[in-house]
């Protein structure tokens, strides 16, 4: 079975940092781009960042550019989202997902979706 397990969420103060992990199994990890999405209460889902299968291409939404860093380890079948300088507006449930064609990230046309992990930024 395909699994994408997101973890690492929690409560952090504004200006703080968190690192989310997305552990994958059940498919050939290094053939898929990995994307992160988030959804805050009452808001639409937002594509946050996406990394190509070889990490040669990475996209960041304007809202997280220069604060978030996406990476992956194709040996451990895991992707990481390092989130720095967190703001209250970053509060959301964060989901990871996998897709063979990178471009499909931009309309959330992912092949596999994982569970969510809650990030709360509050003092």
pLDDT at 34: 98
pLDDT at 48: 97
In Å, what is the CA distance from 74 to each residue of 44, 59, 62, 81, 95?
30, 18, 26, 15, 19
pLDDT at 99: 97
C-beta of residue 113 within 8 angstroms of C-beta of residue 24: no
pLDDT at 57: 96
pLDDT at 24: 98
pLDDT at 74: 98
pLDDT at 91: 98
pLDDT at 73: 98
Ranges in the chain, pLDDT < 70:
none
């Amino acid at each position: 079975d395909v699994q994408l397990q997101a973890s690492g969420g929690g409560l952090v103060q504004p200006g703080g940092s968190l690192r989310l992990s997305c552990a994958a199994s059940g498919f050939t990890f290094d053939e898929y781009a990995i994307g992160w999405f988030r959804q805050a209460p009452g808001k639409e889902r937002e594509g946050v960042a996406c990394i190509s299968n070889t990490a040669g291409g990475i996209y960041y939404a304007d809202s997280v550019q220069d604060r978030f860093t996406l990476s992956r380890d194709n040996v451990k079948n895991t992707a990481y989202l390092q989130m720095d300088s967190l703001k209250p507006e970053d509060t959301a449930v964060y989901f990871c997902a996998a897709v063979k064609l990178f471009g499909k990230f931009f309309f959330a046309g992912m092949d596999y979706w994982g569970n969510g992990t809650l990030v709360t930024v509050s003092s």
